[in-house]
Amino acid sequence: MNEVCPISSIKINEKVARLNALFVITSILIFIFTPIKWIIFFLILDFGLRAANKGKYSLIAFLSRSLADVLKLKPEMVDATPKFFAAGMGFVFCILIAALYFVGLSFFANFAAVMLMFFASLELVFGYCVGCKVYALICRFKVIFWS
């Protein structure tokens, strides 16, 4: 079920968003299993760009669009605002992961990274965007209590 965006008519390609999740999962695996911990800063920047609707500057979005073109995936357009919100949640998650790791709480950083990877896996495999569902709940909450 696609959530209706009450704020914007901007659309994005759902299949590209799902491929974005593949690259996020790959980056998180690199963070967890290699000494390349700086990759979390790459994810912070990339999620920040996508959350701010600056996906044209996002390396992950570029790679995802390119892969979708190579695979000749037919575009499936969906409302963009819930995806921007979800990217904002990814941005916050990555800041949390970096903060936990760099203050010496690597177990908790890895736990948060696995949670982010789980959410990205839901997007990749099932097209289920947890951030989009949270966005829809917030919108419903606002309608119920602030109308």
How many structural domains compose the chain? Answer: 1
Q: Is residue 85 part of a domain?
A: yes
Residues paired with residue 77 on neighbouring β-strands, in sequence order? 13
Paired tokens of 129: 């965007």
The CA distances from residue 43 to 23, 27, 113, 141, 143, in Å, are 10, 8, 11, 30, 33
Q: Is residue 68 part of a domain?
A: yes
Name the 3-class secondary structure at 78.
Answer: strand
Query: One digit per residue, pLDDT tens: the chain, 147 residues?
Result: 444 445 568 899 999 999 999 999 999 999 999 999 999 999 999 999 999 999 999 999 999 999 999 999 999 999 999 999 999 999 999 999 999 999 999 999 999 999 999 999 999 999 999 999 999 999 888 766 665
pTM for the predicted model, two decimal places: 0.88
Q: Is residue 3 part of a domain?
A: no
Domain span at residue 30 reads: 11-145
Residue type, 111: F
Q: Is residue 5 part of a domain?
A: no
